[in-house]
Amino acid sequence: MNMLHPLIRRLVVIGNGMAGMRTVEELLKRAPGRWDITVFGAEPHVNYDRILLSSVLAGEKDVAAIEINSREWYAEHGIRLFTGDPVIAIDRQARTVTAESGRVEPYDALLIATGSRPIVPPLPGLELPGTCAFRDIADVETVIAAAGQYRRAIVIGGGLLGLEAANGLTKRGMSVAVIHLMDNLMERQLDGEAAKMLQRALDERGISFFMNGQTEELLGETRVEGVRLADGRTVPGDLVVFAIGIRPNTDLARLAGLDLNRGILVGDDMRTSDPAIFAVGECVEHRGKTYGLVAPLWDMAKVCADHLAGDADTVSDYNGTVLATRLKVTGIDLFSAGEFLGDESTDEVLFRDPARNIYKKLVMREDRLVGAVLYGDVRDGGWYFQLLREGQKLGSLRDTVIFGQGFAPGADAGAAVAALPDTAEICGCNGVCKGTITGAIVAQGLTTLDGVRAATKASASCGSCTGQVEALLALTLGKDYAPAEGEKPMCKCTDLSHEAVRSEILAQRLQTIPAVQQALDWASPDGCHACRPALNYYLLCAWPATYRDDAQSRFVNERMHANIQKDGTYSVVPRMWGGVTSAKELRAIADVVDRYRIPTVKVTGGQRIDLLGVKKEQLPDVWRDLNAAGMVSGHAYGKALRTVKTCVGSEWCRFGTQDSTAMGVALERMTWGSWHPHKVKLAVSGCPRNCAEATIKDFGVIAVDSGWELHIGGNGGIKLRETDFLCKVTTEAQVLEYCAAFLQLYREEARYLERTAPWVERVGIDHVRRLVVEDAANRQALQQRFLFAQRFAQTDPWAERAAADGAEFRPLATVA
Ligand SMILES: Cc1cc2nc3c(=O)[nH]c(=O)nc-3n(C[C@H](O)[C@H](O)[C@H](O)COP(=O)(O)OP(=O)(O)OC[C@H]3O[C@@H](n4cnc5c(N)ncnc54)[C@H](O)[C@@H]3O)c2cc1C
């Protein structure tokens, strides 16, 4: 029996989700030790950031990274946590709750925070395997597993959740169709124009749309195979994800006889019709409104905690919350708040820049901002939201308000965040305002972004406020604020680091080098020799399907698809898969050597044949003849996949344990044509004698009796570095999967001209292991992105020309 001090009362919380646990956190701040707290959660997890499920599905975060409080945290605060044990009954007379396990827990105050349930319509065919919602970790795990097995997904619902689900599924390599009941996507947050821009952007990412689509039936025999719409259209798919809305989860409250409407009815003090029972979050209805975003939860949690803490001077009332929405689809910026549609009592100010895909609409009534829709450039979303919530008169600000805070009288772009009051919300995902951040910086001596994230949670979720948090660090610490090592400017044309430029390319959806230079205020209009190739690579990596490689931003070798030599001639290296060649290839090479009188033929260290001394004007013909024999470029000059060196392996060698040659060929076929921050070399050795020298390669594979050892980050050049051991796998398919995932991580994280060796040293082998080995979902997502980019990988211009001339040329996808 739990003996409590008479002044300590028992609080039971039903629902270990975002609203319930935020209330507990707020209560611990106000009245630590005053309540003996017990939490019941239906899910088997500690509480986590539900809004980041979209990032988990998209492979941008793993499940561990979205945990909010660890089990140790609960223990440290004396909270008893029962996970995977839903409460099934409330006895209001006895003041007890009963959980599914049979546990009965008495309470003095009860907090219901059961959230909501996804709406799934009662369609014929719903019993078929292959359907799910998008609400919790279990759903995401189901969807990820299906994405690994099936190719076509259907998302029903084109609102915020549906589109985030569609984006995640695309990133998992599925082809995705979205069915939406209305004519416009996200019609509750966007006007028609912004909705169409959004649809176009998603369409470019390969998502197809069935608008005005009323789903009537799920089709299939033993598993879902598609859906049929009311107008007769059918959409094929092996997975159907429902994201058509949510309904407050009021089951328990109904059983307990509490007053209900759509949600559990609460007053301004967050009490239900029973004064001993509070309710917060999506399960409640307050003044006729239910909510489906986190901002109201933070307000409710504070008010509820005030009342539970019970200090008469501090109790507050909940008066409702004005909502703002952002879409968490990397590379698509969208913000909407308030009355974005407007009516006859409002005026609108519009800004359109179609070339940069920017659209802004501000809605005003009686000289006050009442609504905003921003597409493409959402940097001023926070400021507009502040103006909207404060309801201040615009006055002379009206002339420039559409251009953003940087144009407001007396402000410059850098001072934007300085001008915000302490109450201005900086992090919408976690409800953190400016005063909390600056207060924590001063009180806790914080000097880094990570420190602020840990102390306040600001910028720890979707990250869209990171720039503002950094500005607050700079503002508060002045010259004592030194950005982290990686923040050095990329080149003399900009103050931004490589990382910052890459994240702006995604955040602002910049698609060309001039667009980057213009949007990021490049100092020199054309850039320089350092930034142009880097930008070209970053754009290729960010938009593999749509970006057109800029040949003028490449070094001469890459432009000519051959290495320039000291006498001005070139060396030509055809690809030789895994170092294996044939009489046909050797004959073709010999013919080319004779025909063009190539003076030197040399076998390289990477197991291929180098034709040295080719004149520039001969290059097209040399390549045409090689292509005609099925030989493509070895990219011996590129910041790209170069060779995959192999030994003869178990097929011939007495010591070989596996077929290293076939493995090397398979790796080379998967990776050739991929651009990288720097050159990349692979090797496969058939036994630990390591004849292919796999331990000095970027990705090295060593066969052992029971499988394959994978090694990364080696270098055999000037700065010799032995690889780090990554992990051991058992099958060939796993070698390919881990290789693709590792290379994609390198492509996405390393700075241009950074080899894998210094990159691995900089980020640490543990970082790579975590993202490539431990987090299987993330590994598969990386692999999918790699394979997706490979669909658009480089061929070589000479090969294309040969094909146009009618010569036999087998492009990337069909090289046998
Ligand atoms: C994929 C996704 C993306 C989102 N993105 C955004 C976004 O970008 N911005 C935004 O503002 N909002 C977003 N949201 C909405 C946001 O997550 C919710 O508003 C928020 O989680 C609601 O908090 P809650 O505590 O009311 O409910 P929940 O977080 O759902 O917590 C309720 C918990 O109670 C548990 N429970 C239910 N019944 C019982 C029972 N009988 N006993 C014990 N436990 C029980 C549930 O299992 C659940 O764990 C998103 C939601 C999803 C699903």
Per-residue pLDDT tens digits for 652-666: 888 888 899 999 999
Calculate mean pLDDT across residues 794-810. 48
Could you tell which of 51, 105, 329 is best to mutate to test the pocket of ligand 1, judged by most ligand atoms within 8 Å of the CB? 51
Q: Give the atom of ligand 1 at the shortest distance from the alpha carbon of 462.
A: 8
Q: Measuring from atom 50 of ligand 1, which residue has the nearest CA?
A: 51
CA of 293 to the centre of ligand 1 (A): 9
Residue nearest to atom 47 of ligand 1 (CA): 42
For the residues 495-511, what does the mean pLDDT come to? Answer: 86
- Tell me the helix, strand and coil percentages in the chain, rounded to 5: 35, 20, 40
By residue count, the chain amounts to 816
Q: Please state, in angstroms and rounded to a whole number, the distance separating the CA atoms of residues 551 and 561.
A: 11
Give distance in angstroms: CA of 281 to centre of ligand 1.
8
Domains of the chain plus CATH, in order, are 9-116+248-309 (3.50.50.60), 131-244 (3.50.50.60), 498-554 (no CATH), 555-638 (3.90.480.10), 640-800 (3.30.413.10)
53 Cα to the center of ligand 1, angstroms? 11
pLDDT greater at residue 704 or residue 488: 704
DSSP 665-676: HHHHHHHTT-B-
Q: Which amino acid is at 545?
A: A
Of 190-194, 202-206, 358-362, the poorest mean pLDDT is in 202-206
Q: How does the average pLDDT of the chain come out, rounded?
A: 88
Confidence band for 632, pLDDT divided at 50, 70 and 90: confident
H/E/C letters for each residue in 202-266?
A: HHHCCCEEECCCCEEEEEECCCEEEEEECCCCEEECCEEEECCCEEECCHHHHHCCCCECCCEEE
- Whose CA is closest to atom 37 on ligand 1? 114
State in Å: Cα 110 to ligand 1 middle. 19
Mind listing the pLDDT tens digit for each residue in 531-570?
A: 989 999 999 999 988 888 887 777 767 777 788 888 888 8
Q: Ligand 1 center to residue 47 CA distance, Å?
A: 10
Whole-number pLDDT of residue 529: 82
Answer yes or no: is pLDDT of 345 > 70: yes
**Interacting residues of 198 by C-beta distance below 8 A, sequence separation 6+:** 163, 185, 186, 190, 327, 332, 334, 375
Residue nearest to atom 14 of ligand 1 (CA): 51
> What one-character DSSP code corresponds to residue 356?
G
Give me 806's structure tokens: 């009618």
pLDDT tens, position by position, 7-20: 679 999 999 999 99
Which of 66, 97, 114, 169 to mutate to test ligand 1, by most ligand atoms within 8 A of the CB atom? 114
Confidence of residue 808 (pLDDT cuts 50, 70, 90): very low
The 10s digit of each residue's pLDDT in 467-488 is 778 888 888 887 667 666 555 7
Q: Residue 687 in contact with residue 703, Cβ under 8 Å?
A: yes
Whole-angstrom Cα distance, residue 173 to residue 392? Answer: 47
Taken in order 383, 164, 676, 809, the sign of the CA dihedral is negative
Q: What pLDDT does 616 receive?
A: 87
> What's the 72 CA to ligand 1 centre distance in angstroms?
22
Contact 472, 442 (CB under 8 A): no
Ligand 1 atom closest to Cα of residue 53: 1
The whole-number average pLDDT for the span 88-93 is 98
Which of ligand 1's atoms lies nearest the C-alpha of 99? 42
The pLDDT value given to residue 816: 26
pLDDT of amino acid 7: 66
Cβ atoms within 10 A of the Cβ of 117, count? 16
Span from the CA of 249 to the centroid of ligand 1 (angstroms): 10
- Please tell me the predicted confidence (pLDDT) of residue 108: 96
Ligand 1 centroid to residue 86 C-alpha, Å: 15
Nearest CA to ligand 1 atom 7: 51
pLDDT reported for residue 701: 97
Rounded CA separation 478/800 (Å): 55
pLDDT above 90 for 627: no
DSSP bridge pairs for 12: 38, 110
Question: What is the atom index within ligand 1 of the atom nearest the CA of 15?
Answer: 34
The residue with greater pLDDT, 185 or 552, is 185
Q: How far is CA 649 from the centre of its chain?
A: 40
Question: pLDDT band for position 413 (50/70/90)?
Answer: very low
Stretch 576-586: mean pLDDT: 93
pLDDT band at 814 (very low <50, low <70, confident <90, very high): very low
Q: How far is residue 115's CA from residue 88's CA, in Å, rounded to a whole number?
A: 15
Quote the DSSP letter at residue 13: E
Query: What residue owns the CA closest to ligand 1's atom 48?
Result: 17
pTM of the model: 0.64
Q: What confidence tier does 1 reach under pLDDT thresholds 50, 70, 90?
A: very low
Please report how many Cα atoms fall inside a 13 Å half-sphere around the Cα of residue 146, on the Cβ side: 28
Q: Which residue has the higher pLDDT, 219 or 450?
A: 219
How does pLDDT run across 672-703, given as a tens digit for each residue?
989 999 999 999 999 999 999 999 999 999 99
> Among the atoms of ligand 1, which is closest to the Cα of residue 40?
43
Mean pLDDT value of segment 397-413: 70
Mutate to test the pocket of ligand 1, among 12, 46, 50 (most ligand atoms within 8 A of CB): 50
Percent over 90 (pLDDT), the chain: 60
Q: Which residue has the higher pLDDT, 401 or 559?
A: 401
- pLDDT tens per residue across span 319-333: 998 888 888 776 678
Residues with CB under 6 A from ligand 1: 14-20, 40-43, 50-51, 53-54, 86-87, 113-115, 134-135, 161, 249, 252, 281-282, 292-295, 297, 328
Which of 283, 288, 327, 289 shows the shortest CA–CA distance to 304?
A: 283
Q: Which atom of ligand 1 is nearest to the CA of 291?
A: 19
Q: What is residue 363's DSSP assignment?
A: E
Please give the distance, rounded to the nearest whole angstrom, from the Cα atom of residue 18 to the centre of ligand 1. 6
Question: What is the 3 state secondary structure string of 367-402?
Answer: CEEEEEEEECCCCCHHHHHHHHHHCCECHHHHHCHH
Cβ burial, residue 593 (10 Å; 0-12/13-18/19+):
middle
Q: What is the full DSSP assignment across 560-603?
A: HTSEE-TTS-EEE-B--GGG---HHHHHHHHHHHHHTT--EEEE
- Residue 531 C-alpha from the chain's centroid: 25
Residue 114 alpha carbon to ligand 1 centre in Å: 8
Distance 67 CA to ligand 1 centre (A): 13
Nearest-atom number in ligand 1 for the CA of 326 is 8
For residue 16, the CA-to-ligand 1 centroid distance in Å is 9
Return the amino acid letter for 366: E
State the residue for tokens 């975002």: 18
**E strand map for 3-115:** 9-14, 35-40, 80-82, 87-91, 96-99, 104-106, 109-112
What is the 797 CA–ligand 1 centroid distance (Å)? 52
Identify the residue with better confidence: 173 or 278. Answer: 278
Rounded to the nearest whole angstrom, what is the distance from the C-alpha of residue 271 to the centroid of ligand 1?
Answer: 20
Distance 15 CA to ligand 1 centre (A): 9
75 CA → ligand 1 middle, Å: 23
Whole-angstrom distance, CA of residue 278 vs CA of residue 303:
11
Model confidence at 261: pLDDT above 70: yes
194-198, Cβ contacts within 8 angstroms, sequence gap of 24 or more: 194/334, 194/336, 194/359, 194/361, 194/373, 194/374, 194/375, 197/357, 197/359, 197/375, 197/376, 198/163, 198/327, 198/332, 198/334, 198/375
pLDDT, tens digit, 9 for 90 and up, residues 751-781: 999 999 999 999 999 999 999 999 998 899 9
Pick the closest to residue 19 from 269, 252, 300, 318 (CA basis). 300
pLDDT digits (tens, 9 = 90+) for 434-465: 999 999 998 998 888 888 888 898 887 776 67
State how far the Cα of 692 lies from the Cα of 527, in Å rounded to an integer: 41
* Residue minimizing CA distance to atom 15 of ligand 1: 293
- Determine which helix (DSSP H) or strand (DSSP E) holds 168, and give its type and residue range: helix 160-171
50 Cα to the center of ligand 1, angstroms: 6
pLDDT at 484: 63
Nearest CA to ligand 1 atom 6: 51
Q: Which of 396, 443, 375 is nearest to 185 (CA)?
A: 375
Angle between helices 434-443 and 466-477 (to 10 degrees): 50
Q: How far is CA 182 from the centre of its chain?
A: 27
Assess contact for 516 and 527: CB atoms under 8 A: no
| Ligand 1 atom at shortest distance from the alpha carbon of 428 | 11
Pocket test for ligand 1, best of 294, 334, 464 (most atoms within 8 A of CB): 294
| Residue of the CA atom closest to atom 9 of ligand 1 | 293
Scanning 70-159, the segments in alpha helix (DSSP H) are: 71-76, 137-149
Instruction: Specify the residue with its C-alpha closest to ligand 1, atom 3.
Output: 51
Q: H helices of 434-497, where?
A: 434-443, 449-456, 466-477
Residue 235, Cα to own-chain centre: how many angstroms?
27
Q: Compute, in angstroms, the gap from residue 115 CA to the centroid of ligand 1.
A: 5
Confidence of residue 121 (pLDDT cuts 50, 70, 90): very high
Q: Which amino acid is at 474?
A: A
More confident residue, 329 or 581: 581
* Structure confidence at residue 491 (pLDDT): 84
Specify the residue with its C-alpha closest to ligand 1, atom 38.
Answer: 114
